[in-house]
C-alpha cells in the first residue's frame, strides 16, 4: 500500500434537518442520514475515490464500530482495525433550514485504555515499509495523552513521510517529533505561535518559524473560502479555492488532505498536489453531510485552477 491513514477517534456522523432551532422546544428532525466519519477515515475515503491505494487504520469498538465497517466495505475502502472496549462515538450535525446554518456537536469519544494504547503502538510499528505516507488525522480520544501521541508518531517506521492534521496539544507534541507536513487553520496556528495573525504576511512568517524550528517541512494553512497558504523553506504561495455552491463544510478539510496526498503519491509537485487537494476540498463542500468529493468533479475543478 502507498498510503496509510490513522484515526484514533473515528465516528459515525449523523445529520438531521430542523426548520429552526429554538430553546426549550421539542424539535422535529427530518432527512436523517448517517455517514462514516473521523479525520483519517474521511481522508482514506477521498484517496480511494481519487484512485490511489490506501489503508485506513482505526479504533473499532461496539455497535458503531460494526456500522463503520459496513460503511467502509460499501465504499470499498481497505482498512485494518485496532480493537477497543468502548463504542465508537456518534457525532450530530444539524442543519437549520430557516438560516442554512450548520450546528456541529462533536462527542468526546471512547476511553482509550492503556492496553489499547499499546495495541496502537504495535500497529504503527508494523506499518509496511512500502508505505510512502502515513496520515494522522483527527482528535485524540479520552485517556490518550499528547505525550503518548508523540511517542506513537516516533514509532512510525523510518523512511515514511508523516502528515498530521490535528489540533491543540496533540499538534504541539507532533512538532516535537518533526513531521513532513501539518495543516492547521489560522486559529490553530495562532495557538502554536502564541500570537494573533492578522494577515497573510504574518501567517506566512508564523509558518516559517515552525519550519525553521524543524517542527515540519511543509505547513499548509487553511484559509477557509480563501483557499490555503502553502509554506515551505522556499515556497510561499496562496492557492485560491474555486468558487462553488456550498452544501456542507463537514469533511472539506479532510478532502484537502486526501487530495493533496493522492496528488503527491502520483508524482505531482507539492504546489500541484496542493491545488489538487484544494480542488477536492471544493468538490466536497458541494455535497451533503460527509458524502465528500466525487473524482470527476474534483478533477474538473483542478483543471480550472
* Dmax (CA) of the chain: 56
Residue 254: active-site member: yes
Q: Between β-strands 11-18 and 89-96, what pairing exists: parallel, antiparallel or unpaired?
A: parallel
Out of 13, 86, 165, 254, pick the active-site residue. Answer: 254
Instruction: Decide: helix, strand or coil at residue 252.
Output: helix
* Alpha-carbon dihedral 112, 113, 119, 120, rounded to 10 degrees: 30
Which one, of 283, 250, 222, lies nearest residue 36 by Cα? 250
Determine the Cα–Cα distance for residues 279 and 296; give it in Å rounded to an integer: 11
- Map grid coordinates 478533477 to a residue: 299
Question: CA torsion sign, 30 to 36 to 39 to 42?
Answer: negative
Catalytic residues: 254
Amino acid at each position: 500500500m502507498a498510503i496509510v491513514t490513522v484515526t484514533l477517534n473515528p465516528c459515525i456522523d449523523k445529520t438531521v434537518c430542523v426548520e429552526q432551532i429554538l430553546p426549550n422546544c421539542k424539535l422535529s428532525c427530518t432527512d436523517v442520514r448517517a455517514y462514516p466519519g473521523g479525520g483519517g477515515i474521511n481522508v482514506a475515503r477521498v484517496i480511494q475515490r481519487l484512485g490511489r491505494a490506501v489503508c485506513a487504520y482505526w479504533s473499532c469498538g461496539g455497535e458503531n464500530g460494526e456500522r463503520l465497517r459496513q460503511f467502509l466495505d460499501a465504499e470499498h475502502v481497505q482498512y485494518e482495525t485496532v480493537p477497543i472496549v468502548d463504542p465508537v462515538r456518534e457525532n450530530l450535525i444539524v442543519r437549520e433550514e430557516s438560516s442554512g446554518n450548520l450546528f456541529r456537536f462533536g462527542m468526546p469519544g471512547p476511553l482509550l485504555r492503556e492496553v489499547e494504547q499499546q495495541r496502537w503502538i504495535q500497529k504503527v510499528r508494523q506499518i509496511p515499509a512500502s508505505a510512502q505516507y502515513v496520515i494522522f488525522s483527527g482528535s485524540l480520544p479520552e485517556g490518550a495523552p499528547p505525550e503518548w501521541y508523540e511517542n506513537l508518531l516516533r514509532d512510525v517506521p523510518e523512511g515514511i513521510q508523516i502528515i498530521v492534521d490535528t489540533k491543540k496539544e496533540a499538534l504541539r507534541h507532533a512538532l516535537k517529533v518533526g513531521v513532513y507536513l501539518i495543516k492547521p487553520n489560522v486559529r490553530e496556528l495562532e495557538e502554536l505561535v502564541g500570537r494573533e495573525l492578522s494577515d497573510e504576511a504574518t501567517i506566512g512568517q508564523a509558518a516559517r518559524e515552525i519550519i525553521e524550528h524543524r517542527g515540519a517541512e511543509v505547513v499548509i494553512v487553511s484559509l477557509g473560502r480563501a483557499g490555503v497558504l502553502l509554506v515551505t523553506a522556499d515556497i510561499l504561495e496562496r492557492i485560491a479555492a474555486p468558487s462553488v455552491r456550498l452544501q456542507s463544510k463537514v469533511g472539506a478539510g479532510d478532502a484537502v488532505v486526501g487530495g493533496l496526498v493522492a496528488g503527491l503519491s502520483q508524482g505531482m509537485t507539492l504546489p500541484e498536489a496542493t491545488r489538487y487537494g484544494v480542488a477536492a476540498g471544493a468538490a466536497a463542500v458541494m455535497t451533503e453531510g460527509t458524502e465528500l468529493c466525487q473524482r470527476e468533479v474534483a478533477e474538473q475543478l483542478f483543471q480550472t485552477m
